[in-house]
């Protein structure tokens, strides 16, 4: 029972490099999310996908792009990484109805030097 799987778990990038964070869920959930967690800031929503084929900006979308590849997969791309994007990134999914909780991946610790 994998739940939400994120890859990679750790990554170090140089400023200006690009990379894609992968996320896949096996719970047949409609909605998927990308958050970043920084000390003292809680979890801030970067992008979300309410259902397959749709994506929307969250609180902090600048510098990121996303793709909802299919119902299972939701990727986050950093086109030109900056030190300000050093963070822990979480992918989450949920069924979409009012009272269902979100299930989270294990997180990706990204450092941009």
Partner 1 sequence: AQKITQTQPGMFVQEKEAVTLDCTYDTSDQSYGLFWYKQPSSGEMIFLIYQGSYDEQNATEGRYSLNFQKARKSANLVISASQLGDSAMYFCAMRGSSGGSNYKLTFGKGTLLTVNP
Binding stretches for partner 1 (CB under 8 A): 31, 33, 35, 40-45, 48, 50, 56, 58, 88, 90, 92, 94, 96, 98-99, 101-104, 106-107
Is the distance from CB of 74 to CB of 68 less than 8 angstroms? yes
Of 15 and 27, the one with the shorter C-beta distance to partner 1 is 27
Which of 55, 57, 54, 58 is closest to 44 using CA atoms? 58
In the complex, least distance from residue 75 CB atom to partner 1, rounded to whole angstroms: 18
Of 48 and 64, the one with the shorter C-beta distance to partner 1 is 48
d(CA 111, CA 113): 6
**Cα Rg of the chain (Å, integer):** 13
In the complex, least distance from residue 11 CB atom to partner 1, rounded to whole angstroms: 15
């Amino acid at each position: 029972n994998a739940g939400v799987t994120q890859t990679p778990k750790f990554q170090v990038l140089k400023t200006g490099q690009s990379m894609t964070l992968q996320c896949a869920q096996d719970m047949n959930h409609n909605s998927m999310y990308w958050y970043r967690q920084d000390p003292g800031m809680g979890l801030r929503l970067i992008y979300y996908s309410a259902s397959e084929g749709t994506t929307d900006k969250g609180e902090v979308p600048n510098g990121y792009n996303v793709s909802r590849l299919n119902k299972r997969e939701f990727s986050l791309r950093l086109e030109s990484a900056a030190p300000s994007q050093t963070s822990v990134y979480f992918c989450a999914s949920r069924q979409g109805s009012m009272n269902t909780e979100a299930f989270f991946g294990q997180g990706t610790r990204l450092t941009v030097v």
